[in-house]
């Protein structure tokens, strides 16, 4: 029995050329702290949130950190869970209560 990759597999050759695969460009940063990594983003958000007089709103987080509404909700929900308080209520199109 001979080793093969299945019926019709080409014989091994050291001179066979391998096609060039172009590297994919890295996607652009989604928000201001995307290139810093998760830990830095969380640290910056927590520092800013702690400095606020009130619990940060989703629009305030969006404006301050240039993040999507979904990310702002994730961050504020995580902050609320950390402090053991109720998260902000979602409202708007596509939200069912």
- Among candidate residues 62, 25, 21, 24, the one with its CA nearest the CA of residue 45: 62
Q: What is the total residue count of the chain? A: 97
Give pTM, 2 decimals. Answer: 0.57
Q: Given the structure tokens 């299945």, which residue do they identify?
A: 6
CA–CA–CA angle 85, 71, 31 (5° rounding): 135
pLDDT band at 97 (very low <50, low <70, confident <90, very high): very low
The residue extents of the domains of the chain are: 34-83
pLDDT surpassing 70 at residue 60 = yes
Paired tokens of 69: 């509404």
């Amino acid at each position: 029995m001979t080793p093969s990759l299945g019926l019709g597999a080409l014989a091994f050759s050291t001179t066979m050329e391998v096609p060039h695969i172009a590297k994919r460009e890295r996607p652009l940063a989604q928000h201001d702290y995307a290139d810093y990594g998760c830990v830095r983003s969380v640290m910056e958000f927590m520092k800013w949130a702690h400095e606020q007089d009130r619990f940060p709103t989703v629009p305030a987080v969006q404006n301050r950190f240039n993040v999507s509404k979904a990310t702002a909700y994730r961050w504020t929900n995580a902050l609320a869970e950390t402090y053991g308080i109720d998260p902000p209520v979602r409202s708007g199109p596509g939200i069912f209560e």
